[in-house]
Amino acid sequence: MHIAVIGAGMIGSAAARHLTDMGHQVTLVGPAEPADLATWTGPYASHYDAGRITRQLDPYLFYSRVSRASIGRYRALEKASGVEFFSEVGSLMAGPDGSEQMNRLEATRDRDGVPCETLRGAALAERFPFFDFEPGMLGLYEPAMAGVVNPRGMVSAQITCATAGGARLVRDTVEGIDDGASGVTLRLGSGETLAADRALVATGGFTRKLLGDVLPFSVYRRTVVFFEISEAEAERITGMPTLITLLPNGEDPYMLPPVRYPDGKLYLKMGGDRVDNAVTTPEELTEWFRSTGDPEVASYVESMMRARMPSLDILSTSSGACVTTYTPSNVPHFEAVSEHVFTAFADSGRGAKNSDELGRLGALRVAGEALPEWASEAAVAAT
């Protein structure tokens, strides 16, 4: 079967690799990363970054499962592609001891047997002296199979393996899908067309441009802040893991340890929007990606960073825009839009670490194979 995968990002590239491994003829369609994000007129992708958090612990059963499946294949994917993208620096999740969020994480740890250290009070402060925690905090630290993935590197690894297995990569945009009696025809931005038996739409927040409102989903603006530090400061905080703090007010700010970006500099990254600010049209989405995020949110995130790491010697700060995409069930859309068009998108802000397994599930769906029962259940919390 000839399957066109629309969207050469994290889920789409993973789906292309898995479909190729399954023996299908695969064409992966998606533009390369634009040279200038501020003037690009086509769809944006979510992997234009050098660092994302990966971890096994998650309060939701679905995401705990797909996290562990994806992480378990990282090293094999690196070896097969020759592209390194996983830094096993560890992951720390912290919150008030006895809170609902932390109780859920402890339930995940116990149910799934996730190896982690449980740290409280003085032990938490002693283990991670560069963080300033409030009294009564509990920390769950995963020292292995957790840390940072380079999303650009991961996509490169997936595409390298997919094309080595016979997949064809078309660096173009898809402007429309014509669904016929025996297959689909994609109308490309170049003016050409591409015929296939089936199509898998893995276009994230830009899916509405191709499918309209056939499926319910929400896209929210997110602002991230980058904190430049020196080589000496990075050396001082050696051993810093990724950190997600689960606050009593429902906020869950996250930060990454120093990551070297394409400009050669070292940055800590932090995000933590207080509200979900929706974007509804492709035009609004493009305008948002061209920006550097919300200045008010960036200022708030900077205040959180300075409170959490008061001793951090910051050389400069900058900000950027991204989005997260959600479905009503909190599980990605692995749906049949028609006999020939299927979807794999909306990862609830967890797509980077989970993308290999999400791509595999999308590959199964478009190939006409049954998904495991757990893949279609709403994401419910561990208890």
Q: Is 239 left (phi over 0), alpha (psi -120 to 50) or beta?
A: left
DSSP letter string over 111-148? HHT---EEEEHHHHHHH-TTS-PPTTEEEEEE-SS-EE
Please calculate the CA angle 219-291-293 and round it to the nearest 5 degrees: 65
pLDDT tens digits in sequence order for the chain, 383 residues long:
999 999 999 999 999 999 999 999 999 999 999 988 888 888 988 899 999 999 999 888 899 999 999 999 999 999 999 999 999 999 999 999 999 999 999 999 999 999 999 999 899 999 999 999 999 999 999 999 999 999 999 999 999 999 999 999 999 999 999 999 999 999 999 999 999 999 999 999 999 999 999 999 999 999 999 999 999 999 999 999 999 999 988 899 999 999 999 999 999 999 999 999 999 898 999 999 999 999 999 999 999 999 999 999 999 999 999 999 999 999 999 999 999 999 999 999 898 999 999 999 999 999 999 999 888 776 666 55
The dihedral through the CA atoms of 178, 184, 185, 189 has a sign that is positive
Amino acid at 26: V
Q: State residue 291's pLDDT score.
A: 95
For the record, the structure tokens of 173 come out as: 């945009």
CA distance 374 to 62: 7
Q: State residue 48's pLDDT score.
A: 93
Instruction: Please say whether the beta carbons of 111 and 150 come within 8 A.
Output: no
Q: Could you tell me which of 294, 179, 308 has the C-alpha nearest to residue 242?
A: 308
Q: State residue 379's pLDDT score.
A: 61
Please report, for the chain, how many H helices and E strands are present, in that order: 11, 20
| Domains of the chain (ranges, CATH numbers) | 2-49+151-215+329-376 (3.50.50.60), 218-326 (3.30.9.10)
- Kindly report the number of other CB atoms within 10 A of residue 86's CB atom: 21
CA atoms within 13 A on the CB side of 244: 25
Task: Read off the pTM.
Answer: 0.95
